[in-house]
Amino acid sequence: MKLCTLHTTDKFMEMMSDPFTKPFLADNPDVEGMDIADSSLIAETQKAGYATPSVARRMYNYMMCAVDAGADGILVTCTSVNTVTKAIRPLIPIPVVGIEEPVAERAVEIGGKIGILSSLATSAKPVENSILEAAAAAGKKVETSICVADGAFEALMRGDRPLHDEKVRIALDKLVKEVDVVVFAQMSMALVEHPDYPIEVLKFGRLSYDAIRKKMIAHKNQK
């Protein structure tokens, strides 16, 4: 099987591939990896405040390129564009998963008051939408609380990970006091180290990779 990871940052090797994709592939030798990255997707989304029709068209084209390259599944690693991912998904002939969707399902299982911590404002709403959709599917009522670690993402893009991580930790320390579970809204935040808390802090990573692998296997078995 071949998994395509679709990224919206040119820093995907250090943020996603090295810490997450490579270990996943090492543990699953039946899966081959490929990457598609276009940093203009997040730049346009940030500027507009939402994933634009132009972003949607390019993402559709990238997904179909993955299909043409023999991919059996696509994992979109950027939450800011994943409202578009959900709209495109029915048009793609292989499974497509947004990085936040499996984590949203897990958060709904854990608590009724869910905190969403983001380093980029455009990421928070798509994650909230996925949580509310997961709650509706589970027949559960939840409350969400969004917190943005202002300036953290910009610090990371400048190469200042220590400042990024510190801003995220400060925001996290406040948010954990108000909710039952916290969801980090971006994969770029997943490597932030923080103290242990009495509630669970969910981050994107292996849970999402395992979810797309499961869907890839199910899709192949249906053929």
Beta carbons within 10 angstroms of residue 16's beta carbon: 25
What are the angstrom distances between the C-alpha of 217 and each of 3, 25, 83, 100, 211? Answer: 11, 15, 25, 20, 10
pLDDT of residue 128: 93
pLDDT of residue 158: 87
Query: Domain coordinates of the chain in residue numbers?
Result: 2-99+206-222, 101-202
Using left for φ > 0, alpha for ψ between -120 and 50, and beta otherwise, residue 104 falls in alpha
pLDDT of residue 204: 86
pLDDT of residue 30: 95
Element (H, E) at 6: strand 2-7
Q: Residue 80: exposed, middle, or buried by beta-carbon count in 10 A (0-12, 13-18, 19+)?
A: buried
Q: Is 101-202 in the same CATH topology as 2-99+206-222?
A: yes
DSSP calls for 41-83? HHHHHHHHTS--HHHHHHHHHHHHHHHHTT-SEEEE--GGGHH
* Chain centroid to CA 219: 22
Domain 101-202 has what CATH class?
A: alpha beta
pLDDT of residue 125: 87
| Each residue's pLDDT tens digit, 152-200 | 988 988 889 999 999 999 999 999 999 999 999 888 888 899 999 999 9
- Helix, strand, coil % in the chain, rounded to nearest 5: 55, 15, 30
In 3D, which of 215, 214, 216, 149 has the Cα closest to residue 188? 149
Tell me the whole-structure pTM to 2 decimals: 0.85
pLDDT of residue 101: 92
Contact between residue 37 and residue 9 where contact means Cβ atoms under 8 Å apart = yes
pLDDT of residue 214: 95
Phi, psi (rounded to 5 degrees) for 72: -105, -5
Low-confidence ranges of the chain (pLDDT < 70): none
pLDDT of residue 54: 96
2-99+206-222 CATH fold: Rossmann fold (3.40.50)
pLDDT of residue 137: 94
pLDDT of residue 80: 85
* Dihedral (Cα; 181, 5, 118, 143), 10-degree rounding: -40
pLDDT of residue 55: 95
pLDDT of residue 222: 86
pLDDT of residue 159: 87
